[in-house]
A and B are shown apart, each in its own frame.
Chain A
Amino acid sequence: MIQEQTMVILKRLLVSFLMIVILVVSIFFMMHLLPGDPFQQYYSPELDNRIAEQVKTKFGLDKPVSIQFIYWLKNIFSGDFGFSLVYKKPVSELISSSITVTLSISLTAFILQIILTIPLGLFLLKHNGKKIDLLIDKLALVIYSAPSFVVAIILIYAGSILTRLFPSSQLYSYNFYEMNSIERLFDLLHHLTLPVLTLTITSISFSIRYLRQSLIEISNQEFVTTLRSTGIPENILRRKHILPNALISYITILGLEIGSLLSKTLITEMVFSLPGIGRLMVGSIFTRDYPVIIACVMISGFMVILGNLIADILIARFNPKFSFEVIT
C-alpha cells in the first residue's frame, strides 16, 4: 500500500516536472512566433547599422534560437526576468513585492476557511434536518453559484458603501508612511478584511456542502449506532468518532481548493485593486509590458502546478480511493 502511494507521488512529481518544462518552452516559442522584434523598442531606426549589429551581438540576438533559449532558461532559473518597460524596474523586484501580497491574502483565507468550516460542519450535524441546517445548505448553494467578484461587490456594498466600516480598495491608507508600526498593522488588517472575507466565504460555500454530506453519511453508518448504544455523549461522538472519518473527504476538497486558490485571488485582487501578482499581470497586459506578463504567467503557473502537486500528494496520502471526477 505504501509503495503504491509512493509510486503515485513519484508519477505526479514527474508529471509536474514535465508540465513546468512544457510551460516554459511554450511561452518562449510563442514569444518567438509572434511578429515583431522586442529589440526594436530600444533603438531608433536611424541608428547606424554597424552599431545596431554590435548591440545585437552584445544581447546575443544574432545567435540561433536554440542557443537563445538556453540563455533565456539560465536567466529564468537564476531569477532574472528582464526589465519592465513601463515601471522601469527589474521584473523580479516587481514580482517579489506583489507575490507577498497575493500569498498573504490567499493563505490567510485558506487557514480561516479551515478554522471556520469544521465547527460549522459540526453545528450543522447537531441540527441535522432542522430549519437552520437546510437554510445554511441552501445559502451555501446560492453563494457557491455566485462568482467571487459578485460576493466581493455585495461585501463592498454592505461593508463600505452602506455602513462605511471598511475601505473598498487599496492595501493601505494615504497616510500609511506617517504611522507607527502598530497603527500600520491595524491599517493593513483594516484594508485586508473585505478581500480575505470574500475569499473565505466563497471557499466555505464550496467545502461546507461536502463536509456536511460526508458527516451525515458517516453518522448513518452502523458503527455510530453501536457507539451510541454504549452511551457515549452525543457531542463526544460527533467530535471524536464522526468528524475524523469525515475529514478524509474534506482534505480531498481542500486539495482541490489549493489548485484554484490563485485564480480566485486574481479576481479578488482586481476588485479590491490590491497590488498582487494577478493585478500586476492584468495591468501589464493592458500596457503591453511583455517581460512582466511572461514572468507573471510563469510564476503563477509554477504556483498552480505546485499547488496541484501538494493537493495530489495529500489526496494520495489520505484518500487513495478518490478518483478525480468533476467535483461540484
Chain B
Amino acid sequence: MEARKIKSVFLIFSLIPIFLLIFSFEKYIISLLLLYQIISSLNLKEISLIELDHLVSMFLLTFFVLNSIVYLLFYFGFVKIKLMERIIKKFSSSSKEFLSGFLMIILILFITLNAPLISPIDPNFSKDVSITKLLPPLSVMNYIQLKLNKYSTIEKNLIQNKLLENFDEERRIYFTDLEIKDSSLIIHKERTKEILNIKEIETLNDKPVIKSQIFILGTDEFGRDLLSRLIYSIRLSVFIAVFSVLISFLLGSTIGYIAGIFGGLVDSLLMRLVDFFLSFPILFFVIFLIAFVGNSILLLVIVFGFSGWMYVARLARNETIACMKKEFIQTLILMGQTKFKIIIKHILPNTFSPILITLIFLMSNVIIAESALSFIGLGIQPPTPTLGGIIKSGYDYLSINGWIAFSASLTLVIIVMTFNLFAEGIRKISRN
C-alpha cells in the first residue's frame, strides 16, 4: 500500500478518540472534578472501585486524545516526527491484513480500556422496563429526574453532589407522555400512569426539566442499553483471553524451552505430557469442573490457560531445537555461556514471532470458547454482560427483535476475525 493511503487511514483512526471524547465530554469533566476532589482532600480510602475505573479510563482517554492531536499536527505538516515516518514506511511495505488487524486491535484495546467513559449508561441499568425494553436502534427516550434529596440521605460535598445530580441514573423516570395539572404531574407509560408531585422533580421555572437519552443500538429485553453491554462484554472477553493466554504462554514456553534445551529423557517425557493434554477432552472436563466447583472468572481464566499451553510448548520446543543447531548458539555454548542466559538473550527473541502468532490464534480460540460457554449458560452468569450471554438473550427474542442477536454476533465475529487477520499478517511478514 502507498504511504499516502496509510496516512489517511491513520487519520480516520486518530479521529475516533477525539470524537469519543466529545461524545462523553460530560463524564470526562466529572472524572476530572473527581480527580480534583481526591487531590485536594487526599482521602484515598473513600474511592470505590468504579470511581477508580473511571479515573484510569480518563487518564487513558487523555493519553489517546493527546496521541491523536499529535498525529493530526503531524498529518497537516505542523510538526515533523521521524519515528512516525518510519512507522508509516514499515506499514507500507507490510501486508494489508497486518495493517487492518493492527488498527482493529488498537481499536479493541481502546474500547476495552476506556469502557467506563465510552459506554453511554451503566450496562446493568434498567428502569421502566415496560416502555424501554426491546427498543430498535437509534431510538430516543425522554425522561425527567427526581430531586436528589429523595434518594440520598447522606450529605456529600459539592462536587460529589454534582456528580450524583448528573449521573445518578436511578433517579430517572422514562415516559411516553407528560401532563401537568396544578401541582401534580401525570406520567404516561404506554398503558400505565404515575402521578407525582411536581416538587419531587427537578424543575426549571416551575416546569419539569425534560432530558432525553438516545439508545444507539437499542435495548435488550430488560431495557438495558445494548451498546454499553457490548462494550463491557468486549472488555470481559478480551480480559479473559489476555490473562488465560498469558498463563498458556508462561507455562508452555517454560516447558517447551526446558524440553528443547535439555533434550534427551526430559524432552521425551515432557513431550509425552504435551501429547497427553492435546488429546484430552478439555471441553468436557471444563463442563465437569463447572458442574461441581461452580463458575467464576478466575476459574475460566485458569482453565482456558491450562487448555492452551500445549501448542505453545510444542512450538517453543521445536523452534528451540532448530535454533540450537545454528552456529552462533553453538559458539556461545563453547564460549561457556549458561543455558539460562542463552534462552533469555538469544533463543527467546529468535523464536518470538511464531510463538506470538500462536498466542494470538489461541486468543481468538479462547474468545470463541468463552462465548460458547456463556451461550449455553455455563460461563459467566448474568447480569454480567458477556457476548455469549447477549447472543443467547437475542436468540430467545429472535422472532420479535433479531437485532440484538445480530449485533452481538457481528461484534463477536469481528473480534475473532481481527485476531485471525492480525496473526495471519504477522505470519506473512515473518515469512518475507
Query: In the complex where A30-B292, A145-B417, A297-B287 touch, is A16 in contact with B358 (Cβ < 8 A)?
Result: no
B347 within 8 A of A: no
Smallest Cβ distance from B240 to chain A, in angstroms? 15
> Cβ of B372 and Cβ of A267 under 8 Å apart?
yes
Q: B278-295 vs A: 1/0 string, CB under 8 Å?
A: 111101110110111000
B303 within 8 A of A: no
Query: In the complex where A282-B287, A297-B287, A326-B362 touch, is A147 in contact with B368 (Cβ < 8 A)?
Result: yes
Main secondary structure of the interface of B (DSSP, over half): helix
> Cβ of B378 and Cβ of A282 under 8 Å apart?
yes
| Residues on the B chain within 8 Å of A305, using CB | 279-281
> Cβ of A147 and Cβ of B371 under 8 Å apart?
yes
Bound complex: CA A142 to CA B279 (Å): 27
Interface segment out of the listed A93-101, A148-156, A224-232: A148-156
> Cβ of A270 and Cβ of B416 under 8 Å apart?
no
| Residues on the B chain within 8 Å of A171, using CB | none
> Cβ of A161 and Cβ of B378 under 8 Å apart?
no
Q: How many inter-chain contacts with C-beta < 8 Å in the A-B complex?
A: 128
B395 within 8 A of A: yes
Q: For chain B, which range describes its interface: under 10, 10 to 19, 20 to 34, or 35 or more residues?
A: 35 or more
Bound complex: CA A292 to CA B303 (Å): 23
Smallest Cβ distance from B299 to chain A, in angstroms? 14
Smallest Cβ distance from B416 to chain A, in angstroms? 4
Q: B400-432 vs A: 1/0 string, CB under 8 Å?
A: 001001100100110011001001000000000
A185 within 8 A of B: no
> Cβ of B416 and Cβ of A145 under 8 Å apart?
yes
Within A123-159, the residues touching B (CB, 8 Å) are 141-142, 144-150, 153-154, 156-157
Bound complex: CA A36 to CA B121 (Å): 44
Smallest Cβ distance from A138 to chain B, in angstroms? 10
| Residues on the B chain within 8 Å of A86, using CB | none
Bound complex: CA A267 to CA B371 (Å): 11
Q: Which of A149, A156, A301, A308 contacts B284 (CB 8 A)?
A: A301
- Closest residue of A by beta carbon distance from B272: A15
Bound complex: CA A326 to CA B391 (Å): 28
A271 within 8 A of B: yes
> Cβ of A161 and Cβ of B279 under 8 Å apart?
no
- Closest residue of B by beta carbon distance from A309: B279
> Cβ of A328 and Cβ of B361 under 8 Å apart?
yes
Q: A153-B391, A267-B375, A285-B287 are in contact. List 11 more A-B contacts (CB 8 A).
A: A15-B276, A30-B288, A142-B413, A142-B417, A150-B413, A161-B398, A262-B284, A263-B283, A270-B376, A285-B378, A300-B284
Residue pairs across A and B with Cβ atoms less than 8 A apart, 7 shown, are: A15-B276, A146-B409, A157-B402, A262-B281, A263-B283, A304-B284, A328-B423
Q: Which 3 A-B pairs have the closest CB atoms?
A: A308-B279, A304-B281, A145-B417
Binding site for B on A (CB under 8 A): 15-16, 18-19, 23, 27, 30, 34, 141-142, 144-150, 153-154, 156-157, 161, 259, 262-263, 266-267, 270-271, 281-282, 285-286, 290, 293-294, 297, 300-301, 304-305, 308-309, 312, 323-326, 328
